[in-house]
Structures are given as structure tokens and as C-alpha cells.
Amino acid sequence: MKKSKLTFWKRIRRFGIRVLQFLFVRLRFVLRLILMIAAMLILVSVVLTLLYSSTSINPVSTLMAARFVSGKPVDRKWVKLDDINVVLVHSVMMSEDAKFCAHNGIDFAALNQVIDSALKGEKTRGASTLSMQTVKNLYLWPGRSYFRKLLELPLALMTDYVWGKRRMIEIYLNIAEWGDGIFGIESASQHYFRRSSKKLNARQSALLAVALPNPKWRNAARASKNLKRLARKIERRAFRSGAYVKCLGKTGE
């Protein structure tokens, strides 16, 4: 009887060991696959980053590409940075990334705060810079993902170094989504205010800037009271931006 019990538990043990070995092999395979995908994404991103450093090339975002493939309409009119009203540029910077000129693609202070809050179980605030948002739009995918965030970091540092601030903000403003199928500031300006981005006034610029975090639900032309309040705040910040935007030099007036 005892011998049969021992034989039974030995079989269970052997079975458990085999299961663990199988899972370990699978886990190694999955990890290798993830690393291969990450390496391929980074390699493609490096090549595209070098290509996009040329101002003669107008990049498209992954969302735009997906809409092209699925046959959905895409409204995007590329416009050079110098042909965009400087107030709009400053408004977007003050709304999305006030430290844009002070960091090299990553705001490490804000990132550390997010990590500390997450470790404490507290609600975290976003630490995405304009550089990180740009590489996400250009090379990666939407939605929350730690894997995607890890890819964003080296890509943001690389693109910020290769392109510089002026090219970075120019690309961002031309691929950002401002509504369903509406991409770039020129199309957004014409869609919401029936004028070019060069002719936007301070309030319109601020309304478009504060619509960016959630453009499908925030309509710059039919702004809610809360959106108008945010726009007034950003308008004041843009007016006093001064040293915060010096890295751009002189842009379109």
C-alpha cells in the first residue's frame, strides 16, 4: 500500500516537473519573440528617423496608414512650421509639454514621479513628452501598454537628437489627430474654423491645443464651458511662454 502511494506521488512529481519544463520552454520562446519584435521595430524606426530628418519627406502616422489600408478617409494637409501661426505652436507646447525645450526627449523628473506614484499604488499622471507622443504616433500603436512605453523611451531620445526641436514639433503638428480622420494642424484649422493655421487667433489656437488629449470628444469649434476654461488658461500661458519656447527660434508670425 505504501509503495503504491509513493509511486503515485512520484508520478505527480514527474508530471509537475514536465509541466514546469514545458512552461519554461514556452516562456523562453515568448521572450525571444518579444525581443525580436522590439528589435525589428527599433531597426525600422531608426531607418525611418534618418529618412524623416529630411524636410522633403512628409511622414504619415501609423493611424493614418491603418486608415489608408482599411479604405477610410484621411484628411491631412502638410504645412511647414514657419507657415503655422506661432501662437498655435506655443499653445500646443504649453498644453502638452511645457518643458519641451528643456529635455532631450524624456522628462525624467516627471517620469520618476509617475513611477513613485505607481509603486505607492496612487493614481498616476501622464509623463509623455511631445517627443514621446510623436514616436508613438509615427512608429507604434495607441492604447496603454508598458511594452510600448518601454519602446517609446529610446525612440524619443533618438529622434529628439537626430531631428532637433523644430523638426520634432513640425512633424508632431502634422500627424496629430484632431478628430475622426482629421490629421495635422492645417486640416484641423480648416475643419473647425474655416481658415488656415497661419491665420488662427490666440483663442482658436488655445482651443485646438486643449482638444488634443481627446480630440474625438473635444470639439474646438463647439467647446464646452470646461474646455473654454482650459483654453483661457493655455492662452495666458502661451502669451507668457518666453524662455519656454526659445529652442524653436523664430517661427511663423
Which CATH number do you get for residue 209?
Answer: 1.10.3810.10
pLDDT band of residue 215 (cuts 50, 70, 90) is confident
The pLDDT of 216-238, averaged and rounded, is: 93
For residue 90, is it within any domain? yes
Q: Which residues contact 11 (CB under 8 A, 6 or more apart)?
A: none
Q: Which pLDDT does position 112 carry in this prediction? A: 78
Our measurement of the distance from residue 39's CA atom to the centroid of its chain's CA atoms, rounded to an integer in Å, reads 19
For residue 57, is it within any domain? yes
pLDDT for 103-115, tens place per residue? 999 998 887 776 6
Number of structural domains, the chain?
Answer: 1
Give alpha helix (H) positions in the chain: 2-52, 62-70, 86-96, 108-119, 130-139, 146-175, 185-193, 202-211, 225-239
For residue 167, is it within any domain? yes
Our measurement of the distance from residue 218's CA atom to the centroid of its chain's CA atoms, rounded to an integer in Å, reads 18
Name the residue range of residue 115's domain: 53-248
For residue 198, is it within any domain? yes
- E strand or H helix that includes residue 177: strand 177-179
- Smallest CA-to-CA distance from 49 within 119, 174, 154 is with 154
Q: Which pLDDT does position 119 carry in this prediction? A: 57
* pTM (predicted TM-score): 0.84
- Asked whether 198 and 83 are in contact (CB, 8 A), the reply is yes
Q: Which pLDDT does position 229 carry in this prediction? A: 96
pLDDT for 20-74, tens place per residue? 777 777 778 778 888 888 888 889 999 999 999 999 999 999 999 999 999 999 9
